[in-house]
Amino acid sequence: MADICDRAQAAELLHRAEALDRARSRPAGPGPLYIGGVACCRTCQEPICSARLKAVPGCCQCRECLEDEG
């Protein structure tokens, strides 16, 4: 028969697993710079087009600056 400690431990394991899944699904890196609520490139501070943001969630550079680096 499970006691309160066993149930608390099971709940903690579940919450920890959910938190790890959320953390792993987030993009790595700083993400875009927000200027006036608009996602902007961290290099040139110009807005990042919505298609790029949709294709690469959390990107921090516009396509032009990324290509200039490469």
Indicate the domain borders of the chain.
Answer: 4-69
- Of 6, 47, 27, 29, the closest CA to residue 65 belongs to 47
Q: How many CB atoms lie within 10 A of CB 41?
A: 21
pLDDT tens per residue across span 19-65: 888 877 766 678 899 999 999 999 999 999 999 999 988 899 999 99
pLDDT tens per residue across span 53-63: 999 888 999 99
Distances (CA, A) of 27 to 2, 23, 24, 40: 39, 9, 8, 16
Confidence at residue 50, expressed as pLDDT on a 0 to 100 scale:
94
Largest CA distance in the chain: 64
**How many angstroms separate the CA atoms of 70 and 64, rounded?**
10
